Structure 1
């Protein structure tokens, strides 16, 4: 014999029986059976009871218990482990380190295979990109033709000795000037100005001594005069530090020299090492941007923002003295100017030749 009835009605009747006639023997016999119909969760973690028609409170994925030792570090496992494990950990912490060198992980060795993929004896003979680091290979890359270089050096030494020992040999003019005179070329970064504005300042400092050029730029009302002054100071410092220019007369006693420059100006020079601006020019740079202007009838135009750099060449007064002497020597070689040269008259004809 079976009993077919909804579980909800059965439970309600059980609660009514327990409240009304709790002392009857029939109720006492059916009470454990009715209470068993109110199922609890199969899993121990499910503490709340539920009715028969509901879904399980604890799903299948809640039944998996997470192990507490999975997230624990090795040191935590040793601390929570046996007494021997804790003792070994304590001994390791108190003893000195016997591991590899401190910077061994930073100095990693390159692959031990060459460019062909074959293993090599020395793992440091090749870079990770396959380039050889052997001494003979690096020398070959830096000096591809050593025999030609040695022959060229030998040729230059022989030429220098021959010119120095041969009484009829003459040192070239360009080499003599490069050996006896100092020059510095300096170029500024691109400045926020145009060529038409900066060229006037370049013409103003050209031909003047460095001190006079700095004074001119100091009291100039032009906006870029400050930038030109800074560039002149940088060039002057580089000339003194790198080329040894403008260090004074020293112990040598030099007399005052009067010269005439190429522009026809008369100068008195008492210090041949004094620096002056021999050349100054400007170079056009890239556009810095543009500005839009609105005009009538819906027309617009662009105003480009230019950039310009200034370059200067600093030399010593020795160069101006030499140039003055060369001009005077050339003038004496040409002789006096004659309006009508003294030469015989030729090609005389009694009629016109045109």
Structure 2
């Protein structure tokens, strides 16, 4: 016995038997006519009523477009980016030496200092500075050429491991190995070229020229006695 496709599918059988004149999709003209009829009868959808353009009562009947308010426009532009390492096994006194070395330096110069440093933790600090620079440029939209390590400080971490330290005459002690982490703050500052130009201008202002006309300025570093 042969079965048709409509008899195998229940939905097709319902369409053919119960609702023979139904159509799957309405045309655009029918949809527009239905919306116009619903608007005249006052049965328009709430979403269509909110998105419909409003008209003023004047002669021109201007259409006012709905403005979309974006969240975050009222926030001020960030000027700094803070980043830190995780707690790792190192003394805070040793790590503070590296923090003093990079504090106040441009970010590229600080990474270069950590690249050629002989300290064991310099490679970790170098990776942290590179990650902080990428995050400041990507997420905070800061200028990469003007990033400066404005602040760098070290904090103590939890004391994780304890180790026995043998001593003389059968005694022993307990050595507690601590941990620490470094925090940095990146800000937009002066580049190396700008600092060099500023130092050069400052040094030129301090120079007293030996011209025919004597200037009314004191001589710098005058000798105490005769030079011969």
TM-score normalised by length of structure 1: 0.32
- Bigger radius of gyration: 1
The higher-RCO structure (CA 8 Å, 6+ apart) is 2
